[in-house]
Amino acid sequence: MINALNHSFFVRLRVCFRGAFFRFAAAISLALAFSAAAAEQTGGRDLTDLSLEELMDVRVSLATRKPGRLSEIAAAVDVVTAEDMRRTGAENVPDALRQVPGMEVGRLDASKWALSSRGFNGLYSNKVLVLLDGMSLYSPVFSGVLWESMDIAPEEVSRIEVVRGPGATLWGAGAMNGVISIATREARETQGLSVRAGAGTEQKAVMSGRWGGAIGQNAFYRVYGRAIRHDGFINSAGEPAGDDWDRKTSGFRLDWKASRKNSLILQGEASDADIGQEGNPTLVPGIPIEGPDYRIRTQAGYVSGRWRSVFSPKSDFDLRVSFNGTRRKDPFFFGGHSRTLDVDAQHHVRTAGRHDIVWGAGFRQTFHRIQPERIMTMEPASRTFRTFSAFIQDDIDLVPQKLRLTAGSKFEDNSLTGFEFQPNLRLAWMPSSRHTFWTAVSQAVRLPDPSDFDLKILYDIPPVRFRMNGNTALQPEELTAFECGWKTTPSVRFHAEASGFINRYDCLQNYSLGDIRLIQDPPALEIPFTLDNVMTGTVKGLECAMDAGLRRNLRIRASAAVLSVRQRWSDEVIRKAEEIGRMLGLDRAFVKEWVGNENGKSPEWTGSLRLSWNPAASVDADLMARFVDELPQMAVPGYTGLDARLAWRPNGFCEVFVLGRNLAGRKHLEFDETPSSFGATRVERSVYGGLNVRMR
């Protein structure tokens, strides 16, 4: 499959890495110099042996819906552990995913994030499924995640599993380009009192508390609360942008071992947020629309339950039921409320032969009601959307412990587009316990969401009126993906992996131009746009990562990814754009560039470097660097980010830490969503310190 990456792609690969090589080599040289200094230290725990041995045998379930060894999974899978989040100082999920190869993470302002995998990044990115303990965090309105409304405390997270590439066979239409699964800690692990407090130049105040207890010998619980106040960033003029925010969250979890074979988990959470935004939004690049400062107010909550029965070592059953609701008020864009009921059941059985089967079914119902605001509405204003689904996947040991074939499919019937079929086929070859080679071919879809059908946007820039409409005739976006990869752990001190892919997309959605007309009330030139399946695309990429223990108490991790995104409008759209360009007297080269500018929303290359050092048993020192290429469509230059964290544990229950963010520069722009109802702001250098206390 690697041979299928054509010559031009490798030419682009060499060009985009030419400048990056010297910066990356300098960072490696710094790490090696650091390791030489660390060699003088003999104290500290054996950081590398412990973590890399665990890495060889770590069990993941996201890619297969059942526990399996990470090193043997036929997919590009990464795990961010609770220890990773602690040592990098990540305060939220997007921050924690910056070190994952192939993940695109950009901060738009103090509260908003653009996050995707293998292209198509944006504030409303809708091709990566995000789960919290098995519950989808998708907004039912636009099938993406509103990260500014999420508050998942890092101290509650057990691990984050990430699958880069299609996961639709097991998880459905939302998992077109990947799946992110956030697993919280078991209540048994969080017994006693835990307090976290911190303050800094941007993160003005963070306070969280948790209490865990037991009910008898078989039930454990925790309750927790968290409050954050975050300062705003600065705008392009260097002035305060007004995008400060604060949020309060509280929740609980109960784990009950009903019997030797049956267990129950109940959990819930509620949050309230007040979010500022840049007060001079720009809907069309270069054409500002004056608007007052405004704030978003959100309220969200959920309850979920999971019942698990283990019939035998080779057979088990899981039932998950969740209900969540959100309420949002946005004076400029749109507000409203939504509710989602999700039911998911699965059965896992390993037969006496060579088959390991997981199958199940699900039901999801969402309801939303939108309140129109300044420029946006939806018609109809409310919808109820239902999806029925079933899946089956079989791991077949063609040669025990050497060659494994995985085949399966998802079947979905939804109330918007009808029946969908999403198969995949994967093959893993393990010539030895230290090497795994894998390849896969998959098909996935992304269903149109209610906003695609019903959205209406109308705004005036006299003497022009822009009208943007949804389209009830939309078809699902389609993907055929070809992947291959290699994983190796030649020793307990070294792990490396690489993966390559070619994704071919059909029926991609974008706005097509309609016929320009003169209207009388008020007199204006109206330019209509209609959402339609008017694009095709090809995305190619290479991703690699390594994890090495250079010394007894020194660990280095590095990753790099190269991406080529090529999208093409339909011939009809190109013809219409050229016609309108001639009508408006626009230069043909400008029109051609404007029509083709959808390729510049993802960086062509990214890289990361992380250094973890324990100079003493009670001291942690971490250095994190990331390198992100430019985003030409949004005029966002490439940047280098540098974070550093130092922590000291004077005793067994207390940790004091200080964290520096974005130390390589005073400010930088990471992402810019255009058109958008707000302005992107500059991420600033910051310092943050705090105290973690835990008493059992």
pLDDT greater than 50 at residue 553: yes
Sketch the domain layout of the chain as residue ranges: 2-695
**CA–CA separation, 322 and 427 (whole Å):** 34
Q: Which residues of 220-238 are buried (b: 16+ CB within 10 A; e: fewer)?
A: bbbebebbbbbbbbbbeee
Please write the tens of the pLDDT for every residue from 30-52.
Answer: 333 333 333 333 333 444 444 55
Mean pLDDT, the chain, rounded, equals: 85
CA pair distance 247, 227, nearest whole angstrom: 6
- The string of pLDDT tens digits covering residues 405-438 is 999 999 999 988 889 999 999 999 999 989 999 9
Examine the pLDDT at 541 and tell me if it is beyond 60.
Answer: yes
Report the alpha-carbon distance of residue 520 to residue 559 in Å, rounded. Answer: 58
Domain 2-695: what homologous superfamily?
Answer: TonB-dependent receptor, beta-barrel domain (2.40.170.20)
Q: Is the pLDDT of residue 536 over 60?
A: yes
**Mean of the pLDDT values across residues 173-202?**
94
Residues contacting residue 447 through CB under 8 Å, at least 6 positions apart: 143, 173, 174, 414, 416, 417, 420, 476
Q: Is the dihedral of CA 327, 329, 332, 334 positive or negative?
A: positive
Q: What is the pLDDT of residues 67-82, one digit of tens each?
A: 888 888 999 999 999 9
Give the 3-state secondary structure of residue 381.
coil
- Tally of helices (H runs) and strands (E runs) in the chain: 8, 39
Phi and psi torsions of 237, nearest 5°: -85, 0
Whole-number percent of the chain with pLDDT over 90: 59
Length of the chain (residues): 696
- Is 689:655 a contact under the CB 8 Å cutoff? no
Confidence tier at 23 by pLDDT (50, 70, 90)? very low
pLDDT at 288 over 60: no
**Distances in whole angstroms, Cα of residue 264 to Cα of each of 309, 323, 342, 364, 687:** 9, 16, 17, 21, 42
pLDDT at 175: 92
Asked if 582 and 607 touch (Cβ cutoff 8 Å), the reply is: no
CA-CA distance, 65 to 324, in Å (whole number)? 23
pTM of this prediction exceeds 0.95: no
> Measuring CA to CA, which residue among 655, 600, 596 is closest to residue 631?
600
DSSP 165: S
Average pLDDT over residues 85-98: 93
pLDDT at 57: 64
End-to-end CA distance of the chain: 53
Q: What is the pLDDT of residues 244-283, one digit of tens each?
A: 999 999 999 999 999 999 999 999 999 999 998 876 555 5
> Is pLDDT at 533 greater than 70 in this prediction?
yes
Rounded CA-CA distance 144/676 in Å is 16
Confidence (pLDDT) at 601: 82
Alpha-carbon gap, residue 351 to 208, rounded angstroms: 47
Cα–Cα distance, 335 to 328 (Å, whole number):
5
- Distance between CA atoms of 62 and 69, rounded to whole angstroms? 11
- φ and ψ of 31, to 5 deg: -65, -40
